[in-house]
Structure 1
């Protein structure tokens, strides 16, 4: 790929060890980004870093990050800033998907999903905001089509992703005067651990299954399809795009 849209740009990606986060990190690395990849699976993040360095010759570092730990976000952002002294883009991709009948879910279940999917975004953005203002940078967060239209047996997940959408729009309005952009991406059914969670789960009620329509001639998208959307919204080509919610779902939510 000839484009080097991210030369001299420092990008922090959470949930980078697998799936959409991994694909996005490698896509940005292929275009010259300096990568900081954070994940609870530290060894997995290190492996993605090694791939980026080997294939693209970019600088890439891994950080341990537990989205369920409020202090981990602050520590992780501080470590990232200590590495390069700046941050141009933040990609919030860490998340969790839990599925069960609503009547079976507990308050602890709800709090866990909200803590990882939504509150972690608050803590990371809050800690990174001064650096993003200084660089006139941008934030792109992974939401979900579930946050737009809901999904059976996953009310907490859908509500947490709707929260990301609302947070994104609110912060886009608040920080536009300071030159910081906030956007979100809503993947549909993608071949990841979360995306394939739409299949039946052993030891659970067999009627817990959601079958989306066939998407644009194929059953589901690939992580690389979503990575392309992240690459656009993170790049300077999207310099006048903020508060956007980009759906990547092969027409799943149309109609």
Structure 2
């Protein structure tokens, strides 16, 4: 059975780069009608244009900060006003921070939880009625940082652990209504988030990726497409009885976390 999202409306947050961009492009190639959310208008519109070229369907780009109630409400309203329904919600937008308890400032904690947890909670809450009506589903993008403990992963790891439990709780609540809720938990994935977080040059970032790949049992880090394929699989009818599940896509990294990966970087 081929995966086909023709006439399905899919909302992807954090769609302007990285995993979100890869996910948007894959859904577009499969015929989905897309609502794409991001904070960088230029990059978001570039992704929307690339999606349009694949199947001729024009995505709805929404520039919004999902860490604010205004941004969340704008996203939900504009999506439903434009398409009239929603079949799949992909909660991908998130930020990270490289810090530990002895160095952390509360402003950093608040910013990470505001986007990675509160924004997801609020957007999902507002869109549940539409998802119940369509018998749709939610796919949250978590991280192995939720379960793999490393110095330097506060408060990001805490936020993703909260997201995993949110996934399980909401899946249980919505299952009787025919709505599935799952999460994908990526390992180290090629994106700009580490460079933004650390200030690495491109050369330093490539060295970091090489170090992470060497510490991964399968010897490779993830690409955005690897995560996108799992998101699409979970959102499709191939997974019609899968709910409350967190699926790791990490090359086995959860079994062998890189020794002092983050603590080494903290010292650099």
In the superposition, the TM-score normalised over structure 2's length comes to: 0.87
- Matched-pair contact (CA < 8 Å) for 1:49–1:62: yes
Residue aligned with 2:218, SS? coil
- Divergent runs of 4+, >6 A: 197-200
| Alpha-carbon distance between aligned partners in 2 of 1:120 and 1:32, rounded to the nearest angstrom | 27
Partner of 1:149: 148
Q: d(CA) in 2 for partners of 1:195 and 1:221?
A: 14
Per-residue displacement from partner, 1:200-220 (whole Å, max 9, x unpaired)? 858xxxxxx8954135132x1
Structure 1: distance between partners of 2:150 and 2:55: 39
Displacement of 1:68 in angstroms is: 2.0
Question: Contact 2:185 / 2:249 at 8 angstroms: preserved in 1?
Answer: yes
Contact 2:33 2:58 in 1 (8 A): yes
In terms of mean alpha carbon deviation, does 32-41 or 2-11 score higher?
2-11
Aligned residues: 247
Partner of 1:104: 103
Alignment match, 1:222: 223
- 1:178 equivalent to 2:177? Answer yes
Q: For residues 18 and 3 of structure 1, what CA distance do their matches in structure 2 show? A: 27
Distance in 2, matches of 1:41 and 1:200, equals: 19
Q: Relative to structure 1, is the Cα distance of residues 167 and 240 closer, same or farther in structure 2, using a 3 angstrom cutoff?
A: same
In 1, the alpha carbon distance for the partners of 2:194 and 2:232 equals: 20
Q: Over the residues paired in the alignment, what is the CA RMSD in angstroms? A: 2.0
Q: Is the 8 A contact 1:97 1:113 kept in 2?
A: yes
Q: Contact 1:186 / 1:248 at 8 angstroms: preserved in 2?
A: yes
What CA distance in whole angstroms lies between the structure 2 residues aligned with 1:166 and 1:4? 28
CA distance in 2, matches of 1:198, 1:252: 21
The runs of 5 or more residues in structure 2 that have no matched partner are: 202-207, 257-268
- Cα distance in 2 for partners of 1:201, 1:102 equals 22
